[in-house]
């Protein structure tokens, strides 16, 4: 914004005596950026660059297979998995809203194994004054025993047990920065020449669904977007746009 416009619209706008005067400030518009999207082949290469039985690889499979945000994946609890209906409930997501996403059939066996690991740790931890999990004050009020029940345990647990003020050992969820570093290292090993972060898999999830012909309203619901305009950004990076355009350079090459 030019300085003259700033001074005329903001600086000269004085507050009233009751300090409730209105400032007609002009909001800066965010620039529209095209998201980074991986191809199907690049996703496969990156997954293969991670240990097959690692929790981090399972988390990446959930990011890509369900379109989850990083913290949504980290904070999943065992109770959020519904194997019978092949769905995952994402609770208290962005905007304090819950939504239902698909549970990939290919990931179901490994998810069951992860639940088994969490259960075994939950049974072993009481021997060292552990077996507890942090819950919100609201949950603690509604369900006083939640902090020691299996269904409230985090699916992707931290390997470090922390003690609360009462000395009880609690298992928090995996730290998002650890997964971010793991993804960056795997991208380098896979020789992917793009800036890859955990959120890249959410972008790839949406783009690949649209390329497969799924309705954009379905994709909007799975991503949890409030406005369709937010989901529309993925139509700009599709390999199969609604209107196929041939480059004039390709026509020129065909004439030769």
Please report the pLDDT score of residue 159 as a whole number. Answer: 85
Residue 134 lies in a domain: no
Q: Is 22 a catalytic residue?
A: no
Supply the pLDDT for residue 3: 53
Residue 165 has a pLDDT of: 79
The C-alpha angle with vertex 84 and arms to 134 and 122, in degrees rounded to 5, equals 30
CA 237 to chain CA centroid, nearest Å = 19
Is 147 among the domain residues?
A: no
- The predicted model gives 142-149 an average pLDDT of 90
**pLDDT value for 161:** 87
139: in domain? no
Q: Is the pLDDT of residue 6 over 80?
A: no
More confident residue, 23 or 32: 32
Phi, psi of 113 (to 5 degrees): -65, -40
Task: Report, as an integer, the average pLDDT of 99-121.
Answer: 95
69 has catalytic annotation: yes
CATH number at residue 107: 1.10.443.10
For 71-109, write each residue's pLDDT tens digit: 999 999 999 999 999 999 999 888 788 999 999 999 999
Q: Which pLDDT does position 209 carry in this prediction? A: 92
Q: What are phi and psi of 137, to 5 degrees?
A: -60, -35
Residue 207: domain span: 40-123+179-236
Q: Give percent above pLDDT 90 in the chain.
A: 54
225 is catalytic: yes
Distance CA 146, CA 155 (A): 15
229 catalytic? Reply is no
Q: Which residues contact 166 (CB under 8 A, 6 or more apart)?
A: none
- Of the candidates 56, 57, 171, 202, the residue annotated as catalytic is 202
The dihedrals phi and psi of 102, each to the nearest 5 degrees, come to -75, 145
Structure tokens at 49: 């660059």
Give residue 14's pLDDT band: very low, low, confident or very high (50, 70, 90): low
Residue 132 included in any domain: no
In a domain, 47, yes or no: yes
Please, which residues have CB within 8 angstroms of residue 45's CB and are 6 or more apart in sequence? 190, 191, 192
Q: How confident is the model at residue 64 (pLDDT cuts 50, 70, 90)?
A: very high
Given a cut of 60, is residue 21 above it in pLDDT?
no
Domain count, the chain: 1
Confidence check: pLDDT of 17 > 60: no
183 in any annotated domain = yes
Per-residue pLDDT tens over the stretch 159-186: 888 888 778 889 899 999 999 999 999 9
pLDDT bin (cut points 50, 70, 90) of residue 197 is very high
Mean pLDDT for 234-252 is 68
Active-site hit among 57, 77, 132, 234: 234
Instruction: Identify the sign of the CA torsion 205, 206, 207, 211.
Output: positive
Alpha helices, DSSP H only, in 169-246? Answer: 176-189, 198-211, 216-223, 228-232
Mean pLDDT over residues 104-132, rounded? 92
By DSSP bridging, strand 99-102 and strand 157-163 are unpaired
Considering 9, 79, 94, 110, which one is annotated as catalytic? 94
Residue 113 lies in a domain: yes
- pLDDT for 179: 95
Confidence of residue 248 (pLDDT cuts 50, 70, 90): confident
The whole-number pLDDT of residue 118 equals 95
Name the pTM for this structure. Answer: 0.81
54, part of any domain: yes
Query: 91, 121, 148, 199: which one is catalytic?
Result: 199
187 pLDDT higher than 70: yes
240 a catalytic residue: no
**Averaged pLDDT score across all residues of the chain:** 85
Residue 94 among the catalytic residues = yes
Which of 69, 154, 173, 208 is flagged as catalytic? 69
């Amino acid at each position: 914004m030019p300085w003259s416009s700033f001074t005329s619209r903001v600086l000269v706008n004085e507050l009233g005596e009751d300090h409730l005067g209105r400032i007609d400030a002009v909001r800066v518009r965010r620039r529209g950026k095209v998201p980074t999207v991986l191809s199907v082949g690049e996703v496969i290469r990156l997954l293969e660059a991670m240990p097959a039985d690692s929790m981090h690889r399972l988390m990446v499979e959930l990011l890509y297979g369900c379109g989850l945000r990083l913290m949504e994946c980290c904070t999943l609890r065992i109770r959020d998995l519904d194997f019978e209906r092949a769905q995952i409930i994402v609770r208290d997501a962005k905007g304090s809203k819950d939504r239902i996403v698909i549970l990939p059939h290919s990931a179901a066996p490994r998810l069951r194994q992860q639940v088994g690991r969490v259960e075994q740790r939950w049974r072993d931890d009481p021997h060292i004054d552990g077996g507890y999990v942090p819950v919100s004050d609201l949950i603690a009020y509604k369900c006083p025993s939640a902090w020691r029940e299996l269904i409230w345990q985090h699916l992707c647990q931290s390997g470090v047990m922390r003690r609360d003020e009462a000395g009880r050992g609690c298992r928090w969820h995996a730290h998002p920065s650890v997964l971010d570093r793991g993804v960056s290292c795997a991208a380098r090993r896979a020789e992917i020449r793009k800036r890859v972060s955990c959120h890249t898999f959410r972008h790839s999830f949406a783009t690949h669904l649209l390329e497969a012909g799924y309705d954009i309203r379905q994709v909007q619901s799975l991503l949890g977007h409030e406005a369709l305009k937010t989901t529309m950004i993925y139509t700009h990076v599709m390999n199969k746009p609604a209107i196929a355009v041939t480059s004039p350079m390709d026509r020129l090459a065909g004439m030769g």
